[in-house]
Amino acid sequence: MPLVNTKRMFDEAMKGKFAIGAFNVNNMEIIQGIMWACKEKQAPVILQISKGARKYASMRYLHALINAACEEMPGIPVAIHLDHGDFDTTMKCIDEGFTSVMYDGSGETFDKNIENTKKIVERAHAHKPFVTVEAELGKLGGIEEDVVGVGADDVEKHLTDPKQVQEFVKRSGCDSLAVAIGTSHGAYKFKKAPKLAFDRIEEIGRLVPNFPLVMHGSSSVPQEFIDFVNSYAVLESKNKKMLEVALKQGWEQMPGSMGVPEEAISKASKMAVCKVNIDTDLRLAMTANILKVWGECNAELLKWIEGGKQGSRPKFSFDPREYLGPAREAIRDMVARKLDVLGCAGKAGLFK
């Protein structure tokens, strides 16, 4: 199946009351893990590329990897989407093979945001093939790459105003809109359990019916993965004294991390939210499993030293395949889990 834009994806999601998972990609292992999960679950998917990913991997490599994945799994509908683009980058990506772009004008005034979004929409919709445009209204919290949101205490002060959405959509012509409903970027989203503004989603849906909304900053930061990281991260220490202290006193590599509950994401997916962005959870799953491989190597070495160095020295996994392989499997498992939460598992057949 050739690459698609998000228009039909969102039409089907709106009718079926589910959401499409939008996952950020940076390298081969992440792309493979995502696509393997989508094939297993028969789910459509949006592969997101941020400004940071463009700089890290270059579009030539990312395009080649995504095209290879599409050829390998022709039954899976795939959109390539620009995540949080500035005006110039968004304009450039329209001509770079993206099927969907997101212009983040949330830092601009209301009128300037509309003005810039409209210019991008005119360019994207005139492009052959047609490119869909996501805009953003309201401000999220947290930090992710170049995106710096409001502080945790100010998130509720910058939620999207439903009354502004109607005017924004009409004047800008955007195809979907990222709204601030209490979510936040990164792994350290909240100081306490979040309270998402579902009433705002309902109000926006009433004022702008059948219009697709987008949730950014929607990783759940599962506690089991935080525990996973904590259990192995200390074993990376080269300082034996530090290791001893950490093991005695407990070790937290990511204290205070907290995400959006999966039940809240599932609830939003049954409303007007048609796209949910997930990045941090993939990073967490990947990093935890890399640490596990190295942590287990170090644990075996520690046992060998404490046992008087009997027998052969334990092997250290320095072959990238030995730690990136399990990391890739972890990506697949995490994405498969999210596809069930979003309700888009089994929906690939809608696009044939």
**What residues are labeled active site?**
83
Helix (H) or strand (E) holding 228: helix 223-233
Count other Cβ atoms within 10 Å, centred on residue 244. 11
Distance CA 139, CA 111 (A): 15
Which of 169, 186, 23, 3 is CA-nearest to residue 78? 3
Token pair in block for residue 159:
């939620």
Residue with tokens 């989508």: 38
Q: How many CB atoms lie within 10 A of CB 317?
A: 14
Nearest to 341 by CA among 20, 33, 112: 20
Q: Please report where in the chains the tokens 């949330």 appear, as a residue.
A: 106
Q: At what angle are helices 162-172 and 198-207 packed, to 10 degrees? A: 40
What is the identity of the amino acid at 198?
F
Task: Please give the Cα distance from 327 to 45 (Å, whole number).
Answer: 20
Joined together, the tokens standing for residue 238 give 């080269």
CB atoms within 10 A of CB 292: 20
Report which DSSP code applies to 97.
Answer: T
Q: Cβ contacts of residue 208 below 8 Å, gap of 6+?
A: 165, 166, 169
Cβ proximity of 50 and 24 under 8 Å: yes
In the numeric block, the tokens 């796209």 are attached to 275
| Sign of the torsion angle spanned by Cα atoms 342, 343, 349, 351 | negative
CA distances from 187 to 37, 101, 169, 257 (A): 23, 24, 30, 5
Contact 183/217 with Cβ under 8 angstroms? Answer: yes
